[in-house]
Amino acid sequence: MENQNNVTEFVFMGLCEGKHIELLFFFLFLLCYMAVLMGNSTILLTITCSHLIQQPMYYFLCHLSLMDLCYTSTVVPRLIRDLAATRKNISYNNCMTQLFTAHLLGGVEMFILVSMAFDRYIAIVKPLHYVVIMNRQRCNMLIVMAWVVGFWHSVALLFMVLNLPFCGPNQIDHYVCDVKPLLKLVCKDIHFVSILVIANSGMVAVAIFLVLVASYIFILYNLKTYSSAGRHKALSTCSSHIMVVVLFFGPCIYIYVLPAGSENKDKEISVFYTVIAPMLNPLIYTLRNVEMKITMQKVWSQMAHSELM
């Protein structure tokens, strides 16, 4: 069979059925999106306008908040619009753009979390060498590497999907253009492609998650040499990172390890890393971080004072 594409647009089946439920979710996701914008913008402004930007941990946190803002803005505004719309359609080109952008930003965020784990590992296991190892040049290099890896990951998925024939139907059982729901619409055998998707996304996510878990176990093991106060501070920081890692990687692993043809709760589970995790990240990093809360108060009080002058 030749790879022909008769589909010019796709129609989302959406997150739920029933107009009343859709309106309820419309207001719920609108509030969630506003919380994402406010929370992550606050972290970005606090870090960039203070001395915290000089510290590697907050430098990475700043980039993580930026990725949360961008990633959520790629998915949630269209979801909100579709919840209020009668017809939830998206053109083929816009669908491919959303697929590429979402996986690019998701891949970058994944490796920023790796960089944050590496930073905590050096800070706790090799504290005397921390300043030398985690200099600004190395931090910039880690961010560039995150973008490079994320780019190649998303390019590989995009070219994989672009080479698939879509002959109809065009209804996507999801609220976002993602590779797995798109595979269900392909008019040829997808067994080999499904294996490639699992290898590209699922197995990579599992491998990175296991590396992160191993690094945090090693970090926690080394905390026994610290004083009680130092141990408490390190535990508070690491527990925040672990919570974010679990919130992000848990749903990703569930979705991308299972094959495309299986009956699972992909679109319900994906809400965790498209909406809930970006909304909770600012709370996790601010409520459990004394230095962040103090700096936030200083920055906002200075801004309020400058406006009164």
Question: pLDDT tens digit string along 213-253?
Answer: 888 888 888 877 777 777 777 777 778 888 888 888 988 88
| Cβ-based neighbours of 225, under 8 Å, separated by 6 or more | none
Residue 112 pLDDT class (50, 70, 90 cuts): very high
Q: What is the spatial distance between Cα 27 and Cα 83, in angstroms, rounded to a whole number?
A: 9
Question: What is the pLDDT averaged over residues 50-57?
Answer: 90
The pTM of this model reads 0.89
Give me the pLDDT at residue 307, please.
62
55-95, pLDDT tens digit by residue? 999 999 999 999 999 999 999 999 999 988 888 899 999 99
How is residue 184 written in tokens?
Answer: 């269900």
Strands (E), 61-160: 89-91
